[in-house]
């Protein structure tokens, strides 16, 4: 009984010990979600009379919630970059002012139900929200409620940065004497890797119709182009805008305009977005005409990962060169020459990669200011130590603010802060290169509003519109080195991925080395294997982060197998009867590629057959075939099989093995000779042994019984 009681007490102790953890985990689950539709104004000025917030509140938990109310909470003016970062991270702040709670309608929500959020707060001398001076303030939309089996608490909140250019009802404040110059990168890039395969002369196949959806009216990519085109009416905004374009995106959409396929479980089906692709590409061509354009790496590849694919061969930079050489494709497809040698790479760059991209023709990199180390503040373009490259810092604080559900509003707040709004000494900059996330997902209305408010900043003199070429044309303000820290290494493309990429790349090079250009086809071997090289670059895309190596490299492997599968040995339709024991084995080799291929024939699983001499290499002509007689000898009579395979001269596998079914009624001549020789040797040894025994018996007529050590015994 004592043992039983002790066991029960132990179980109860463990159960109650775990209870607080379970309760804490339950409390971490969100119960409400707030989706804001409108915030007006986005920037408070002397003429602002009210602050309006609208949206929806949704019960995303598993309990009914009642007594729902919402209010606004204003924090103290933000003075430092650290304070801005804390607000963006969702940390609590000290309240400066609050409004009264307003009940939602309805004020009770079952799981899955939503209620409208509508707040209108007057601004002015008698307002609940008083802004003491110009600056950037944190503004919290706070939703309280009472869940079943609980008490009243904050269940959801949205934190915003609110720029205040002027105090409502008061005279305009003076502006800084020297406003910073500002340029804005506008990313036109893939959200993920879409291409499954794009063989030379074959149809483009994509994974699904997500890209077509993004190109369609109201889609992500359509919104980016439409907002930029709408901003053309404001010359200051338009001149400060520089389009950052992914060559892979443009090439993929161009391929879609000629018809494409969508991969499905039951096989590829025709894509439905041909007209959508044509329309979007036309809109993009109209947008880029006469504008500043810079290139992104092909498929937004992790360049540092690409340098590790052939780390042991510093002379082979074909992958990296292709990834950073997208300017030619943009010029060819869009009719605009991007900024010469200017690249906006994704991810962090280590010293080896910086050196490699410099050799590949890059002259200037646009990079996160946090990835540059310098003894002096980064106020403009800098020279990278030990290289001929220059680096233009992108403001990391603004980029961070432009990432998230309320990205456009927080981005405006961070820009105003960097411009010195409110006189934050030491936090302002003389130059601002503003860059949203490369895969920006802000809605069309939000993008348009963001550019309109940027126009207001220019008009108010808070910042000065500056074309990116003007920023890049200035002399370096100092020197810096790249900062590649352990955190970057953790977030980088994994070693498993680069190892598989390296294996595929080695096989691709082996295949390429066996190819020869046909005089009539005039197709270069490099063009045939280009789809594999591009698929390898896509495998290093930053959008693959977290995916396993087989998934990441699957498309490249599929493209490679499809190419070498076109050079193969035809499997005979019937059994081959060898006319004699040493008859040659006829093999019919076909080549469906538009280039010649040097092949080597190899016999496998050939227990009943052996080659009598080395099989010479053969060149199979482009889109042609050859017969090759393989000198072999039957090792036995009867029916048996042998596998015939092809490789390149360096051993890279081609096609699939072909199984030959054979019959032979005779042994080969060499086999017979060996058999006769072996039989003769056996007969000779047996005769010698018999002779020695007879000789020994004659040498002992008395019949001695003493054992004698014979030669046989010694042996």
Separation of alpha carbons 122 and 135, rounded Å: 19
3-state SS string over 519-537? CCCCCCHHHHHHHHHHHHH
Q: At a CB cut-off of 8 Å and minimum separation 6, what does 58 contact?
A: 32, 33, 35, 109, 112, 113, 114
Separation of alpha carbons 146 and 151, rounded Å: 5
Q: Residue 671: what pLDDT? A: 47
User: Does residue 707 have a pLDDT over 60?
Assistant: no
What are 342-385's pLDDT values in tens digits? 999 987 888 889 999 999 999 999 999 988 998 887 878 999 99
User: Does residue 151 have a pLDDT over 60?
Assistant: yes
Write phi, then psi, for 684 (nearest 5 degrees). Answer: -65, -45
C-alpha closest to that of 535 among 211, 273, 206 = 206
Worst-scoring range by mean pLDDT, 3-12, 80-89, 388-397, 548-557? Answer: 3-12
pLDDT band at 465 (very low <50, low <70, confident <90, very high): very high
pLDDT band at 244 (very low <50, low <70, confident <90, very high): very high
pLDDT band at 12 (very low <50, low <70, confident <90, very high): very low
Q: Residue 614: what pLDDT? A: 82
Cβ-contact 194, 207 below 8 angstroms:
yes
Average per-residue pLDDT in the chain? 87
Q: What is the mean predicted confidence (pLDDT) over 389-396?
A: 95
Q: Residue 709: what pLDDT? A: 44
Cβ-contact 242, 180 below 8 angstroms:
no
pLDDT band at 489 (very low <50, low <70, confident <90, very high): low
pLDDT band at 318 (very low <50, low <70, confident <90, very high): confident
304, two tokens: 């540092």
Q: Residue 691: what pLDDT? A: 67
Count of C-beta atoms within a 10 Å radius of residue 453: 21
3-state SS string over 236-284? HHHHHEEEEECHHHHHHHHHHCCCEEECCCCCCEECCCHHHHHHHHHHH
User: Does residue 74 have a pLDDT over 70?
Assistant: yes
Q: How far is CA 171 from the centre of its chain?
A: 51
Q: At a CB cut-off of 8 Å and minimum separation 6, what does 218 contact?
A: 444
CA angle in degrees (0–180, nearest 5) for 278-280-285: 95
Write phi, then psi, for 319 (nearest 5 degrees). Answer: -65, -50
User: Does residue 17 have a pLDDT over 70?
Assistant: no
Separation of alpha carbons 563 and 534, rounded Å: 14
Q: Residue 330: what pLDDT? A: 97
pLDDT band at 7 (very low <50, low <70, confident <90, very high): very low
Worst-scoring range by mean pLDDT, 146-150, 543-547, 622-626? Answer: 543-547
Q: Residue 21: what pLDDT? A: 36
pLDDT band at 705 (very low <50, low <70, confident <90, very high): very low
Is residue 366 within a helix (H) or strand (E), and if so which, with residue range?
strand 364-368
Task: Kindly give the pairing relationship between strand 364-368 and strand 390-394.
Answer: parallel
703, two tokens: 């019949």
Residues found in the chain: 715
Separation of alpha carbons 48 and 41, rounded Å: 7
Q: Residue 18: what pLDDT? A: 41
User: Does residue 211 have a pLDDT over 90?
Assistant: yes
Task: Kindly give the pairing relationship between strand 567-569 and strand 624-630.
Answer: unpaired
Category of 610 on φ-ψ map: left (φ > 0), alpha (ψ -120 to 50) or beta: beta
User: Does residue 584 have a pLDDT over 60?
Assistant: yes
pLDDT band at 10 (very low <50, low <70, confident <90, very high): very low
């Amino acid at each position: 009984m004592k043992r039983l009681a002790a066991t029960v007490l132990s179980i109860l102790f463990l159960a109650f010990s775990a209870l607080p953890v379970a309760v804490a985990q339950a409390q971490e689950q969100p119960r409400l979600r707030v989706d804001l539709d409108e915030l007006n104004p986005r920037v408070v000025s002397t003429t602002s009379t009210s602050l309006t917030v609208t949206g929806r509140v949704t019960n995303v938990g598993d309990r009914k919630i009642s007594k729902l109310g919402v209010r606004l909470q204003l924090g103290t003016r933000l003075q430092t970059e650290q304070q801005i970062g804390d607000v963006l991270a969702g940390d609590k702040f000290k309240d400066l002012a609050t409004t009264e709670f307003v009940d939602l309608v309805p004020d009770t929500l079952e799981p899955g139900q939503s209620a409208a959020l509508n707040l209108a707060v007057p601004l002015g001398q008698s307002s609940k929200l008083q802004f003491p001076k110009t600056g950037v303030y944190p503004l919290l939309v706070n939703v309280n409620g009472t869940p079943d089996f609980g008490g009243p608490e904050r269940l959801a909140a949205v934190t915003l940065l609110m720029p205040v250019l002027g105090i409502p009802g008061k005279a305009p404040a003076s502006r800084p004497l020297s406003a910073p110059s500002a340029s804005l990168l506008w990313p036109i890039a893939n959200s993920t890797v879409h291409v499954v395969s794009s063989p030379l002369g074959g149809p483009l196949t994509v994974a699904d119709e997500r890209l077509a959806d993004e190109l369609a009216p109201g889609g992500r990519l359509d919104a980016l182009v439409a907002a930029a085109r709408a901003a053309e009416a404001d010359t200051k905004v338009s001149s400060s805008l520089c389009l950052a374009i992914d060559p892979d995106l443009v090439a993929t959409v161009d391929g879609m305009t000629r018809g494409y396929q969508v991969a499905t479980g039951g096989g590829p089906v025709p894509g439905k977005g041909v007209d959508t692709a044509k329309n979007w590409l036309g809109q993009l061509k109209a947008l880029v005409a006469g504008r500043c354009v810079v290139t992104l790496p092909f498929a937004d590849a992790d360049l540092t990962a690409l340098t590790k694919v052939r780390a042991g061969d510093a002379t082979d930079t074909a992958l990296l060169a292709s990834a950073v050489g997208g300017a030619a494709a943009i010029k060819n497809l869009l009719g605009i020459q991007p900024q010469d040698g200017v690249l906006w790479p994704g991810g962090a760059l280590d010293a080896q990669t910086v050196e490699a991209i410099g050799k590949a023709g890059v002259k200037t990199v646009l990079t996160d200011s946090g990835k540059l180390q310098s003894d002096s503040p980064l106020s403009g373009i800098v020279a990278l130590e030990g290289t001929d490259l220059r680096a233009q810092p992108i403001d990391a604080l603004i980029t961070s603010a432009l990432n998230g559900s309320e990205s456009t509003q927080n981005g405006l707040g961070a820009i105003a802060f960097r411009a010195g709004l409110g006189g934050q000494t030491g936090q302002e900059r003389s130059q601002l290169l503003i860059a949203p996330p490369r895969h920006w997902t802000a809605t069309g209305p939000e993008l348009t509003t963001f550019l309109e408010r940027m126009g207001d900043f220019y008009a108010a003199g808070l910042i000065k519109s500056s074309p990116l070429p003007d920023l890049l044309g200035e002399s370096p303000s100092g020197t810096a080195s790249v900062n590649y820290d352990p955190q970057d290494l953790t977030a980088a493309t994994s070693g498993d991925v680069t190892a598989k990429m390296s294996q595929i790349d080695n096989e691709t090079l082996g295949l390429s080395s066996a190819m020869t250009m046909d005089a009539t086809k005039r197709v270069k071997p490099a063009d045939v294997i280009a789809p594999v090289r591009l698929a390898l670059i896509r495998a290093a895309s930053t959008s693959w982060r977290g995916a396993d190596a087989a998934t990441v490299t699957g498309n490249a492997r599929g493209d490679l197998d499809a190419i070498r599968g076109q050079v193969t040995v035809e499997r005979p339709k019937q059994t081959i009867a060898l006319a004699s024991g040493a008859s040659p084995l006829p093999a019919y080799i076909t080549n469906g590629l538009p280039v010649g291929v040097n092949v080597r024939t190899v016999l496998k699983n050939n227990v009943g057959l052996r080659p009598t001499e080395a099989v010479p290499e053969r060149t199979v002509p482009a889109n042609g075939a050859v017969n090759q007689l393989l000198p072999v000898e039957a090792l036995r009579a009867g029916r048996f099989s042998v596998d015939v395979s092809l490789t390149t001269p360096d051993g890279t596998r081609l096609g699939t093995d072909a199984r030959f079914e054979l019959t032979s009624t005779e042994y080969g001549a060499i086999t017979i000779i060996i058999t006769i020789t072996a039989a003769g040797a056996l007969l000779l040894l047996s005769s010698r042994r018999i002779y020695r025994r007879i000789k020994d018996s004659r040498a002992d007529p008395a019949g001695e019984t003493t054992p004698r050590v014979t030669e046989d015994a010694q042996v």
